[in-house]
Amino acid sequence: MKTITMNNGVEIPVLGFGTFQITDPKEAEQAVKDAIQAGYRHIDTAQSYMNEEAVGRGIAASGVLQEELFVTTKIWVENVSYTGVKESFQRSLERLGLEYIDLLLIHQPYNDVYGAWRAMEELLAEKKVRSIGISNFAVDRAVDLAEFNNITPQMNQIEINPFNQQTEVIQALKEEGIVPEAWAPFAEGKNNIFSNDVLTAIGKKYNKTVAQVILRWLIEQEIVVLAKSVKPERMAENLAIFDFALTEDDKQAIAGLNQGESQFFSHADPNMIRWMAERKMDV
Catalytic residue ranges: 49
Residue range 250-268: mean pLDDT, rounded: 95
Rounded mean pLDDT, 113-121: 98
The predicted pLDDT at position 10 comes to: 98
Smallest CA-to-CA distance from 59 within 5, 23, 19 is with 19
**Using one digit for the tens of pLDDT, what is the confidence trace for 31-44?**
999 999 999 999 99
Neighbouring residues of 16: CB distance < 8 A, sequence distance ≥ 6: 40, 42, 43, 44, 70, 72, 181, 224, 225, 226, 227
Q: Does domain 11-278 have CATH number 3.40.50.720?
A: no
Q: Is the pLDDT of residue 282 over 70?
A: no
pLDDT at 158 over 90: yes
Whether the CB-CB separation of 49 and 23 falls below 8 Å is answered with yes
Q: What is the band of 106 on the pLDDT scale with cuts at 50, 70, 90?
A: very high
pLDDT band of residue 283 (cuts 50, 70, 90) is: confident
**Residue 238: which residues within 8 A CB-CB, separation 6 or more?**
15, 211, 212, 215, 227, 229
Give the distance from CA 81 to its chain's centroid. Answer: 21
